[in-house]
Amino acid sequence: MNVPIYQQALGEDFTRLQPELQEYFSLLPGSGHYGVGEGVFDVAGCRQAWLRPLLKLTSGEEAFFPEFGAGIPFRIENHAHLDPFGRSSLTARREIRFPGRSRIFQDTTSLVESGGNPRLVDYLGRFRRMVTDLKLSVTEEGRLRGVSEDSRLFLGHLRLPLPAAVDAKAYAEQWWEDTADGHGRHRIQVKVIQPQIGEVLVYAGHMQYRLRPYVGGSSAQSLLPRYARPDRWEDRT
């Protein structure tokens, strides 16, 4: 089905999104284009200083980062493609430019069938071994909200569901904001909260977004540039 994965997951609610959000989430495998957003996070990172050394230990996963700051430039690339298992997917690669150190944060969101109903599963980090289900909704204003649910780890042959008491949930909201210059901008806000320790990670800001053609004009559905590929893929859900 040549329908964007977010549209399949949301069904009729997709048309309730702001028009600019519908365009943002309509990237398709084989379109010959990828999305590029550049902007500034008003705030990004871990507010809790005591927690940053622990996050530094996991920074090589490219799923979390230990720094914290305000006014942080960032760049995001969105690539729609078929993953190696034939699932329609969207890979996002973010470069967050903290003073003196840039961090990469990457994930792949794939569409899977569950009892005949499409749902989105998010694979985090360069090894894609942390996995969450995404629950989507549309607000009355046409914003997109997403909540990560039922996280699990894949370590070798093991599948380790995270108990609710320790699982950290990500709460995301994206919307289009009109600006005085008439151009407008895309806004995003994400908070990762763990019930025992509170906020683990936050990033919130704005960007300008555009589509770019792939070099050579390739429209292969499985195309994902080498630099955006993870170190390993995971097909389990």
Instruction: State pLDDT tens for residues 41-94.
Output: 999 999 999 999 989 988 899 998 999 999 999 999 999 999 999 999 999 999
pLDDT at 45: 96
The percent of residues above 90 in pLDDT, for the chain, comes to 88
pLDDT over 80 (residue 166)? no
Closest among 37, 54, 38 to 46, alpha carbons compared: 54
Q: What's the mean pLDDT in 140-162?
A: 95
Q: What's the mean pLDDT in 150-164?
A: 92
pLDDT at 86: 96
190-204 tens-digit pLDDT: 999 999 999 999 999
Where exactly are the structural domains of the chain? Answer: 16-214
Mean pLDDT across the chain, nearest whole number?
95
Sequence letter at residue 170:
A
User: 172 pairs with which residues across the strands?
Assistant: 146, 190
pLDDT over 90 (residue 2)? no
Domain 16-214, CATH 2.40.128 — does that match?
yes
pLDDT at 28: 97
Q: Does residue 170 contact residue 147 with C-beta atoms inside 8 Å?
A: yes
pLDDT at 1: 60
Q: What's the mean pLDDT in 24-49?
A: 97
Q: How far apart are the first and last CA of the chain?
A: 21
Q: What's the mean pLDDT in 174-178?
A: 97
pLDDT at 207: 98
Q: Does residue 209 contact residue 28 with C-beta atoms inside 8 Å?
A: no
The percent of residues above 70 in pLDDT, for the chain, comes to 100
pLDDT at 114: 77
Q: Which pLDDT band, with edges at 50, 70 and 90, does 105 fall under?
A: very high
Phi, psi values for residue 176, rounded to 5°: -100, 135
Q: Does residue 206 contact residue 39 with C-beta atoms inside 8 Å?
A: yes
How far apart (Å, rounded) are the C-alpha atoms in residues 27 and 15? 15
Phi, psi values for residue 197, rounded to 5°: -120, -5
If you ran DSSP here, which 8-state letter would residue 23 be given?
Answer: H
pLDDT over 90 (residue 186)? yes
Closest among 129, 130, 92, 134 to 114, alpha carbons compared: 134
